């Protein structure tokens, strides 16, 4: 991605300035990142150079122990001198390289006569990279703090563009206060609010109908039907609220906390979720011990060979759990004018701004042990979310089921407890003996619902407007039973929606109906961006979801 002289996303804006003019304007106000940035961004480089330095000693590596001896007076002066010289040399190279890279890296926000401003981001020593980001095109601005920068009081400002991961710009690292104020400024400009004496930007079509504030969320003068007018995939632009009275309110100050989960709750619920794994592990160990006592050592080795795969599976689960715990710790869900913002993380704080229009699917997950307590988790599929950053994002890591369902209604307009679920015929028990009773699908206003899972119940919702194609599949056994499985193929970053083991006639009807609905909703989304049907206000109605 380090192509010389590239111009970044949104560069060729119809109302943008000439590149040369931008450069001139930028040169006057170029701002630098924090001087420690090169070290933090390229710790691999630093590590690599150190390794190179060390490898020069490969011959003498065992003699490096002599440093110890040297401290006791038994030293070989030439070796120490070499070590010192090489260390110093590497340090100089690193510091010089870092300084050089810091010197050529900078960013600036440049005003445009007709637009809301452009962010320029320059970097690269050999391959120069120049990104121009028109702030109107910015989908979300997040302030993130990975562990080490967090300890140093630094933060990264990440701008997500409609075009997805490749197009995002990461301004790393800035002092936290500066990062926050930069985020504010970008949001303000992106939403069409300009500072000072500039001409205010004329709002887009989304500006109409902003009088609906029946959500009772406290003075939001903005119609939620017009939330995030970015429209279909890649159509991109985010039109800010347009009326003068609304514009003033469109800053991040309007974010409102709608749900919060404490770290303790996240950890507790995650442990409970994984309890089956722990029970299995304990049983294995007990079985191993018993078998050893009863049948001697041969049985021990036989059982050991069996326990290794189980242990690996358990460790994988543990790792996944720890990661999700770390990610969801200290979880806060905030409402923004066009979507939600999630702030969470134990060692590193991650902010995730998600416009409603980027939500491609929602899943309500109810692990077996959670259902005793009536808990549930809501997962999100986000457009352009192929990267780790967005993958498997939780809308809420744990909440009471009612709150979780209400939250999904608020975000997508879909009622997961729709009475329209239709199950599968009894013959499906031959292909799915455990779960067949719990397989069900329902077609609701804006999308399709699919429910499954005997123990771990999962309900997936997909808006019709996101459907790329409809597929069906029938294996040999299914054919004997007169069953087939229907799929909805979704954009990258989403789980495939599936309706397992429908009767062939049912499946045929489903394929036809899903195709028609997908087309109608796609057309509706295109002709009237942002006015996708059935999306009520996300207000305090969702309640503060607490376990």
Partner 1 sequence: VHDLQPDPLFLEPGLDWHKVSPRLITERRIPVVVLALVAVAALVIGVVGQANGTVSSWPFVLAAGVLAVVALVLWLVLVPRMALSWRYAEREQDLVVRRGRIMRRLTVVPYGRMQVIQVRSNPVAHRLGIATVTLVTASADTDAHIPGLPVDVAQALRDRLAAKGEALTAGL
List of residues 6+ apart from 108 with CB closer than 8 A: 25, 26, 29, 30, 31, 119, 120
Query: Applying CB under 8 A, which part among 19-27, 101-109, 450-458, 518-526 lies near partner 1?
Result: 518-526
Element (H, E) at 498: strand 497-503
CB 151 within 8 A of CB 136: no
The verdict on 480 binding partner 1 (CB under 8 A) reads no
Tokens representing 255 are 């974010």
Q: Which of 508, 524, 533, 540 binds partner 1 (CB under 8 A)?
A: 508
List the one residue out of 375, 414, 416 whose CA is nearest residue 398: 375
Query: Applying CB under 8 A, which part among 92-100, 174-182, 263-271, 511-519 lies near partner 1?
Result: 511-519
Q: Is the peptide bond before 379 cis (omega within 30 degrees of 0)?
A: no
**């961004």: which residue's tokens?**
41
Q: For residues 502 and 180, give the distance between their C-alpha atoms in angstroms, rounded to a whole number.
A: 51
Does the CA dihedral 3-158-14-225 come out positive or negative? positive
Q: Which of 15, 211, 469, 544 binds partner 1 (CB under 8 A)?
A: 469
The verdict on 484 binding partner 1 (CB under 8 A) reads yes
Q: For residues 86 and 54, give the distance between their C-alpha atoms in angstroms, rounded to a whole number.
A: 9
The verdict on 468 binding partner 1 (CB under 8 A) reads yes
Distance of CA 439 to the CA centre of its chain: 29
Query: Applying CB under 8 A, which part among 91-99, 348-356, 434-442, 475-483 lies near partner 1?
Result: 475-483
The verdict on 479 binding partner 1 (CB under 8 A) reads yes
Q: Which of 340, 487, 542, 547 binds partner 1 (CB under 8 A)?
A: 487
CB 269 within 8 A of CB 370: yes
**Count of residues binding partner 1 (CB under 8 A)?**
32
The verdict on 520 binding partner 1 (CB under 8 A) reads no
The verdict on 174 binding partner 1 (CB under 8 A) reads no
Q: How far is the CB of 8 from partner 1 (least distance, A)?
A: 22
Question: By CB under 8 A, what part of segment 21-80 binds partner 1?
Answer: none
The verdict on 533 binding partner 1 (CB under 8 A) reads no
Q: How far is the CB of 470 from partner 1 (least distance, A)?
A: 4
Please calculate the CA angle 511-513-518 and round it to the nearest 5 degrees: 95
Q: How far is the CB of 522 from partner 1 (least distance, A)?
A: 6
CB nearer partner 1, residue 164 or residue 345: 164
The verdict on 391 binding partner 1 (CB under 8 A) reads no
Q: Running DSSP on this structure, what letter comes out for residue 255? A: -
Question: By CB under 8 A, what part of segment 252-271 binds partner 1?
Answer: none
The verdict on 224 binding partner 1 (CB under 8 A) reads no
Q: How far is the CB of 489 from partner 1 (least distance, A)?
A: 4
CB nearer partner 1, residue 308 or residue 476: 476
Cα dihedral 88→90→93→98 (10° resolution): -110
Q: How far is the CB of 235 from partner 1 (least distance, A)?
A: 8
Phi/psi for 343 (5° steps) reads -125, 120
The verdict on 530 binding partner 1 (CB under 8 A) reads no
List the one residue out of 94, 120, 142, 141 whose CA is nearest residue 32: 120
Q: How far is the CB of 508 from partner 1 (least distance, A)?
A: 4
Under the rule (CB under 8 A), what is the footprint of partner 1? 233, 467-476, 479, 484, 487, 489-492, 494, 496, 504-505, 507-508, 511, 515, 518-519, 522-523, 526-527
């Amino acid at each position: 991605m380090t192509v010389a002289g590239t111009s970044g996303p949104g560069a060729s804006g119809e109302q943008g300035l000439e590149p040369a003019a931008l450069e001139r304007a930028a040169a006057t106000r170029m701002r630098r990142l924090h001087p420690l940035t090169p070290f933090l961004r390229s710790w691999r480089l630093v590590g690599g150079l150190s390794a190179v330095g060390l490898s020069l000693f490969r011959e003498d590596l065992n003699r490096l122990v002599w440093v110890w001896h040297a401290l006791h007076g038994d030293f070989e002066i030439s070796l120490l001198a070499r070590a010192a010289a090489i260390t110093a040399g590497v340090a100089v190279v690193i510091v010089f390289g870092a300084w050089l890279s810091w010197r050529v890296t900078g960013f600036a926000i440049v005003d445009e006569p007709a637009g809301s401003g452009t962010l320029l981001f320059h970097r690269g020593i050999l391959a120069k990279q120049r990104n121009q980001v028109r702030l109107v095109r910015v989908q979300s601005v997040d302030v993130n703090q990975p562990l080490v920068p967090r300890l140093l009081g630094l933060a990264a400002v990440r701008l997500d563009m409609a075009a997805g991961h490749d197009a995002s710009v990461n301004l790393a690292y800035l002092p936290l206060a500066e990062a926050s104020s930069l985020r504010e400024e970008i949001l303000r400009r992106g939403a069409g609010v300009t500072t000072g004496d500039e001409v205010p930007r004329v709002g887009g079509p989304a500006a109409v109908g902003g009088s609906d504030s029946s959500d009772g969320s406290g003075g939001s003068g903005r119609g939620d039907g017009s939330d995030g007018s970015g429209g279909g995939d890649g159509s991109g632009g985010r039109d800010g609220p347009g009326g003068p009275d609304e514009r003033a309110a469109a800053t991040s100050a309007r974010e409102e906390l709608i749900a919060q989960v404490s770290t303790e709750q996240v950890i507790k619920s995650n442990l409970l979720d994984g309890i089956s794994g722990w029970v299995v592990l304990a049983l294995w160990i007990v079985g191993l011990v018993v078998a050893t006592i009863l049948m001697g050592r041969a049985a021990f080795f036989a059982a050991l060979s069996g326990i290794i795969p189980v242990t690996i599976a358990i460790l994988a689960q543990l790792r996944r759990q720890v990661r999700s715990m770390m990610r969801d710790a200290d979880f806060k869900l905030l409402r923004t004018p066009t979507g939600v913002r999630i702030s969470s993380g134990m060692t590193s704080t991650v902010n995730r701004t998600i416009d409603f229009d980027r939500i491609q699917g929602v899943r309500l997950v109810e692990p077996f042990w959670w259902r005793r307590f009536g808990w549930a988790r809501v997962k999100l599929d986000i457009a352009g979310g192929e990267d780790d950053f967005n993958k498997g994002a939780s809308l809420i890591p744990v909440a009471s089921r009612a709150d979780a369902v209400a939250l999904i209604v608020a975000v997508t307009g879909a009622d997961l407890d729709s009475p329209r679920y239709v199950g599968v015929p009894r013959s499906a028990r031959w292909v799915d003996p455990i779960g067949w009773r719990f397989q069900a699908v329902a077609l609701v206003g804006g999308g399709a619902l699919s429910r499954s899972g005997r123990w771990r119940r999962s309900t997936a919702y997909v808006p019709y407007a996101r459907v790329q194609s409809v597929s069906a599949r029938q294996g040999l056994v299914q054919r004997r039973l007169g069953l087939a499985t229907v799929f909805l193929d979704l954009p990258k970053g989403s789980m495939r929606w599936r309706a397992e083991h429908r009767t062939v006639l049912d499946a045929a009807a489903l394929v036809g109906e899903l195709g028609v609905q997908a087309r109608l909703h796609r057309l509706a989304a295109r002709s009237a961006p942002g006015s996708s049907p059935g999306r009520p206000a996300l207000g305090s109605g969702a309640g503060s979801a607490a376990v």
